Each structure stands twice: as structure tokens, then as C-alpha cells.
Amino acid sequence: MTGIIRLGRIPLAPEGVKQRWPFPVGMHLVTGGAGFIGSHLVDALVARGEAVRVLDNLSSGRLEFLEGHAKDQVEIVVCDLLDQTQVRDAMRGIQVVHHLAANPDIRLGIEVTDTDLKQGTLATYNVLEAMRMAGVSNISFSSSSAVYGEAKEMPTSERYGPTLPISLYGASKLASEGLITAWAGTFGARAWIHRFANIVGPRGTHGVIYDFIHKLQRDNTRLEVLGDGRQEKSYMDVVDTVDAMLHIIDRDDGIGASLYNLGTTQTISVTDIAKIVIQATGLEDVEIHYTGGDRGWAGDVPKTWLDVEKLYSSGFVPKMDSRGAVKSCADSLVSEIGLRKPR
């Protein structure tokens, strides 16, 4: 499915008639805007009164995540970032690009090894090149703590080096960061780079909490945990995340490149997450089974703990800590998925 869906106040062009994009300069483009984090960013931008164009191939994004914007200035362009012409067309009238689209499944990279290369690195190149062609100079990018690989310093600050990702997903995020700073340095783009902790919350379409709930839906007596359960990571609530992204763009001029870790000060273990999820479902007597080993899959980092001092001292403090974010996410996904506690 490829095409343009216009929601809300935007006049629909008659089929086949080429028209200029109907927005004044100042629109925001959100790639992956129908996805998990992207759709929350659209919510936040709309709440600020901004006009938004979403670019999404709907591979993991869902139109229903944007349903609430039927009356807002939100336009959805359904296309793939690998289609250069369409990406270039989508740049008209754009002031800021929020580039969030990516392959959301880190593990998929192991099986089809060019997934992250295409959906990550090449897609970012296309976005940057389309921006350059159209004279759009502001880009906010969702990178990942995966760029750090197995860091030797905890918590890991933005100044940590060398960044040696161990997953193909992390490699594509590092590659995209480099492309963005090169575009900034060579062609004058302004860039904000956000290295995300594990982001969780409503509309999640993947990740450990999502997996656990789906496993419990299939078998409510037994929960399989990949690894030994001791993997430990920073989590951040998705609403906190998009607030932090906009906070950084607001306060930081992005000249050169402004790079921040986005997360909370603590970590939480996979075993603790399993317990929180089981509690959220209301299930009793669930047996936790561990597959063993210190990581869930090849390329999984056993411990991720971000130093978020830079974010916090910029004046932003997330509303939820890791545990709170995981609990809130488990509750909302249980109710979204409709997993009910047995009565």
C-alpha cells in the first residue's frame, strides 16, 4: 500500500492532480510517525499546535495509532524511505525532520543481515539527501544506546568511546549518526541526536514486555525468559521520551550536532520485568523458565546503563523511573491486548 492519506482539515487533492503541499513552511515531518514512538511524538507536536506530516511504510506502524488526529493538521504519506523520489516530495514545506523510522526488531538483523543496513543506514541517507535537495536543514534523530555495545564504563556517558556496537541494529544507528553529523559538518544541517534507552509504553509493538505478555496470552502457566534473567537495562516511558526530545530541540541550537542520552537514572533486570508483567496480568502460579546464558540473543547487550546527567542538568527530569515506566507499560499493554486475569 502506497499513497497519501489526508486527515482532518487538509483538503484532499482530486485523484491525479498534482498540488503543492497545503501547509505553510514550518511543518514537521515524522518518519515512522505511525509507529510506537513516532505516534507519541505526533501527539506531542499536535498538542503544541504544530502541523505534522507523517511518513510511514506501515511495516510496523499502524494507522490506528493516529486515529485520534482526525481533526488535526496531520497528513500521512504512506511510502518507504527507500523510495528516494517520494521522500524528496515529502520534504516540501518541512521545517524540521524527526527521523524515527527504523527496523524495530533488533533480532531480525541476525537472519536477514541487510535489514538494518537498508531500513536504518540507507533510509537515513535518503532522508538527508532529500533534505539537502529541498533545503530542509533541521533533523532530530532517534539513535540508541545500542551504539555503545558492551561499554566498559557504567553508567555510560555520551563521551564514552570507542562505540563498538555488537548488534546490526546498533551498527545502523551508529552509521546514521555519522551520516547526520557529516551532513551537518559538510552541508550545514542542524542536528539533534537522541540515544534512547529502552523505550516503553502504550502502543509498543515489540520488546521484552510485549513479548512476555504475548507469551502469557498463549500459555498462562509458564513464561519463557531468554537468557538468565539478569540482563539489566535502563527504561524510559515513551511520553517522557518525546517530551525530552522536544525539550532538547527547544533549548539546544543543534549547531554541529547536539547529542544526548535519553533514559532514566536506574536499571531494571529482566527477571524483575517478568515479575512486574505477571503481576499486571493478575495471573498466579506462573512458572518462569530461563533459556540460560548471559544474553537473550546474539547481539543482545547484557547490561545497558546510560549516564543521563547531561539530560537532567539541561532541566529535564522524566516523570517515571525505569520501574515505573515498565509497570505503566505492562498495565497499558495488558489492557490493549485484552489479556484478562482469570476469575
Q: Which of 21, 23, 125, 192 binds a second copy (CB under 8 A)?
A: 125
Kindly state whether residue 181 participates in binding a second copy, applying the rule CB under 8 A: yes
Kindly state whether residue 4 participates in binding a second copy, applying the rule CB under 8 A: no
Q: Which three cell numbers stand for residue 264?
A: 532514566
Minimum CB distance to a second copy, residue 137 (Å):
14
Kindly state whether residue 121 participates in binding a second copy, applying the rule CB under 8 A: yes
Kindly state whether residue 104 participates in binding a second copy, applying the rule CB under 8 A: no
DSSP conformational letter for 114? T
**Spatial contact of 294 and 230, defined as CB atoms under 8 Å apart:** yes
The smaller minimum CB distance to a second copy, of residues 44 and 117, is found at 117
The smaller minimum CB distance to a second copy, of residues 31 and 126, is found at 126
Minimum CB distance to a second copy, residue 52 (Å):
27
Kindly state whether residue 109 participates in binding a second copy, applying the rule CB under 8 A: yes
Minimum CB distance to a second copy, residue 84 (Å):
10
Kindly state whether residue 147 participates in binding a second copy, applying the rule CB under 8 A: yes
Count the residues in the chain: 343
Q: How far does the chain reach from its first CA to its final CA, in angstroms? A: 42
Contacts of 340 (CB under 8 A, 6+ apart): 282
Minimum CB distance to a second copy, residue 163 (Å):
6
Torsion sign (Cα): 287, 325, 43, 118: negative
DSSP conformational letter for 236? E
Q: Which of 163, 205, 269, 314 binds a second copy (CB under 8 A)?
A: 163
Which residue in 28, 169, 152 sits closest to 104, CA to CA?
Answer: 169
- By rule CB under 8 A, what count of residues binds a second copy? 43
Kindly state whether residue 171 participates in binding a second copy, applying the rule CB under 8 A: yes
Cα–Cα distances (Å) from 14 to 10, 11, 88, in that order, read 13, 9, 21
Minimum CB distance to a second copy, residue 185 (Å):
2
Kindly state whether residue 197 participates in binding a second copy, applying the rule CB under 8 A: no
The smaller minimum CB distance to a second copy, of residues 22 and 302, is found at 302
Give the helix ranges, DSSP H, for the chain: 36-47, 84-89, 108-111, 115-116, 123-134, 168-187, 208-218, 238-251, 270-281, 309-313, 322-337
Burial of 273 (0-12, 13-18, 19+ CB in 10 A): buried
Kindly state whether residue 336 participates in binding a second copy, applying the rule CB under 8 A: no
Kindly state whether residue 337 participates in binding a second copy, applying the rule CB under 8 A: no
List of residues contacting a second copy (CB under 8 A): 109-110, 113-114, 117, 121-122, 125, 129, 132, 147, 149-150, 158-168, 170-172, 174-175, 177-179, 181-182, 184-187, 256-257, 259, 298-299
